[in-house]
Amino acid sequence: MMGEGWIEVGSKIAGLLFVLTTIQQYFPQQLKHYLGKWFNIRVLGFVYPYIKLKINEHSNGRRNEVYYAIKTYLSSKSTDHARRLKADMIKNTKSIAISFEDCEEVLDEFKGIKIWYRVLQEDTNTEIQTSTFYAQRSQQVPEYKSYELIFHKRHKDVVVGAYLEHVVEQAKEIGLRNRQRKIYTNNISDYWYWADKNFWSHIGFEHPATFQTLAMDPAIKDKIISDLVTFSNGKDYYAKVGKPWKRGYLLYGPPGTGKSTMIAAIANFLKYDVYDLELTSVKNNNELRKLLIDTTSKSIIVIEDIDCSLDLTGTRKKKEEEKSKEEGENDPLKEKETDKEKEASKVTLSGLLNFIDGIWSACGSERIIVFTTNHIDKLDPALIRRGRMDMHIEMSYCKFEAFKVLAKNYLNIESHPLYETIERLLGEANISPSDVAENLMPKNASKDDAEMCLKSLIEALERAKDDARLKDQKEEPEAETEQDGDGDEDPKSKLGKLVKKHKSYLRVLRKNVWCI
């Protein structure tokens, strides 16, 4: 009985092979293709329950972003399973990408679902359209690659939907971690059309500043770090409260207190690009808006010395000009002044405010806007109010805690007998961290160099203390001469004060005429 059963199975297989051979020889090509497709779907579908999803390197003659997202995603997965690997240096990155060799299979899991990857390579004459500044041209690609994803058919909806979205998001994060960060500056307006509408030019950002090397009060430093971490993880929170995902920081303080170094430390901490915006080269509010639109997410937009960048009092100047016209005043330099105003930037305070938190400011996400100034009292209150500049950070003169950070960085010491003297002098004299760092810079390689540097700093602190004392002594007699013995203001002093005031006006006027 067993032998008869095997004979029957063999006869059926022989009959099937005879039918297939007959179809192969005598049936038309289109009919054979249809029957083969029907056989794969209807017959093999019951035996082979897996689906193959093919993702080509190029689609419709253009670069397929999903393919490159998978390539980036698998660079972190291939080393765990594959045996044959290859290394590539990807453009605009600072690391080497590891991928698996052709025909090698890599297994990935997502929510308990197993997905197999395999690289396919085929020869073809695919034509890819590339666009340049001058014209469009076609490029012949002799071969192209594709990824083949294999998974069970019951997981089709999950793989095509949630899984591929997960791969794309992970690829973006990997690309941001591995990319070489850049610092951008806005191009001069006259050259925009020659630069193919590239509003920003850039170079690699390699500033070494970190919060560990930043000389400032540790308590303030920890507060800033905590705020930055909260902001970088606040995507859902900002969406919940209905605010654009951005934050403003105002850095103010005397020159040399580390405002630019703070910006570099923030960029290195968050791994953000830096956009250094020069307002004086922006012609008007429309160009300012174009610059904002052309910035990317995960970036820091910096306007340094905001009080010196532009005269944001255009409305008041216009009113003064109208008033002078009504009074019939004639200005001999009127024509030259008009030409100068035409060349000057027309960015207004209203345009700058819209740049910070207007409707157009929500065209991107995860961005930080930083203003720096040496004189916070010169800024318009509307420009620095909470909600625009969310956090005001004072970069003050060097204190003892900041000095210890600098001493550790420059001299590699944490304590010294001269520290007590330096702590006392830092409380009596004002000196910037940059001046302290200059005195701590080793001049030679001797063992006693640290002590020499500390003594040099003590001398600088004593000089600063003496200069401050002399300045106070010089100002005291001038204050006393403004009043007579009875406490009333002396008429001569009042007249002299008025003359001095008008002289200052004339000096400013001469300076403006000279600039024109």
**pLDDT tens digits, 246-260:** 999 999 999 999 999
Residue 364 pLDDT > 80, yes or no?
Answer: no
* The pLDDT of residue 132: 42
- Average of pLDDT values for 369-382? 90
Q: SS3 of 314, please?
A: helix
What's 139-174 look like in SS3? Answer: EEEEEEEEEEEEEEHHHHHHHHHHHHHHHHHHHHHH
Name the burial class of residue 386, with classes exposed (0-12), middle (13-18) and buried (19+) by CB atoms within 10 angstroms of its CB.
exposed
Least trusted range by pLDDT, from 31-40, 224-233, 402-411, 477-486? 477-486
Q: SS3 of 116, please?
A: strand
Rounded to 5 degrees, φ, ψ at 102 are: -60, 145
* Local confidence band at 270 (pLDDT 50, 70, 90 cut-offs): very high
Residue 128 pLDDT > 60, yes or no?
Answer: no
* The pLDDT of residue 310: 66
Q: Which residue has the higher pLDDT, 216 or 174?
A: 216
Q: Count the Cβ atoms, other than its own, within 10 Å of residue 516.
A: 11
Residue 195 pLDDT > 60, yes or no?
Answer: no
* The pLDDT of residue 134: 40
First to last CA, the chain: 114
CA pseudo-torsion sign 371, 218, 238, 159: positive
| Strand (E) or helix (H) holding 400 | helix 400-411
| Strand (E) or helix (H) holding 335 | helix 334-343
Residue 348 pLDDT > 80, yes or no?
Answer: yes
CA pseudo-torsion sign 151, 152, 155, 161: positive
| Strand (E) or helix (H) holding 510 | helix 491-515
In angstroms, the CA 480 to CA 237 distance is 58
Residue 129 pLDDT > 60, yes or no?
Answer: no
User: Mean pLDDT across the chain, nearest whole number?
Assistant: 76
Specify whether the CB–CB gap between 39 and 16 falls below 8 A.
no
* The pLDDT of residue 113: 92
Residue 101 pLDDT > 50, yes or no?
Answer: yes
Rounded to 5 degrees, φ, ψ at 269 are: -70, -45
Give the number of residues written for the chain.
516
* The pLDDT of residue 395: 93
* The pLDDT of residue 388: 85
The CA–CA distances, whole Å, from 352 to 72, 109, 184, 279 equal: 39, 49, 19, 10
Residue 120 pLDDT > 80, yes or no?
Answer: yes
DSSP3 helix / strand / coil % (the chain, rounded to 5): 50, 20, 30
Closest CA relative to residue 221, chosen from 210, 207, 205, 237: 210
**pLDDT tens digits, 34-56:** 656 555 555 555 666 888 899 98
* Residue whose structure tokens are 């590539």: 88
In angstroms, the CA 224 to CA 226 distance is 5
Strand partners, 244: none
Distance from chain centroid for Cα 487: 59
* Local confidence band at 420 (pLDDT 50, 70, 90 cut-offs): very high
> In the chain, pLDDT over 70 holds for what percent of residues?
65
Angle of the 419-428 helix axis to the 400-411 helix axis, nearest 10: 130
* Local confidence band at 291 (pLDDT 50, 70, 90 cut-offs): confident
Residue 311 pLDDT > 80, yes or no?
Answer: no
Closest CA relative to residue 283, chosen from 294, 273, 291: 291
Closest CA relative to residue 137, chosen from 149, 129, 145, 127: 129
* The pLDDT of residue 467: 87
**Do strands 299-303 and 367-373 pair parallel, antiparallel, or not at all (unpaired)?**
parallel
In angstroms, the CA 344 to CA 281 distance is 8
* The pLDDT of residue 192: 45
* The pLDDT of residue 507: 54
Pull the structure tokens for residue 361. 């400011």
Residue 416 pLDDT > 50, yes or no?
Answer: yes
Closest CA relative to residue 368, chosen from 465, 314, 297: 297
Distance from chain centroid for Cα 393: 20
Q: In the sheet that 182-186 helps form, which strands lie side by side, from edge to edge?
A: 200-204, 182-186, 273-276, 299-303, 367-373, 246-252, 391-394
Q: Which residue has the higher pLDDT, 404 or 507?
A: 404
Domains for the chain: give ranges and CATH numbers: 22-178 (no CATH), 183-314+343-394 (3.40.50.300), 400-480 (no CATH)
Residue 463 pLDDT > 50, yes or no?
Answer: yes
Q: What is the largest CA-CA distance in the chain?
A: 138
Residue 231 pLDDT > 90, yes or no?
Answer: yes
Q: Which DSSP state fits 181?
A: P
Least trusted range by pLDDT, from 299-308, 353-362, 413-422? 353-362
- DSSP assignment of 1-14 equals -HHHHHHHHHHHHH
**pLDDT tens digits, 422-442:** 999 999 999 999 999 999 988
Specify whether the CB–CB gap between 189 and 283 falls below 8 A.
yes
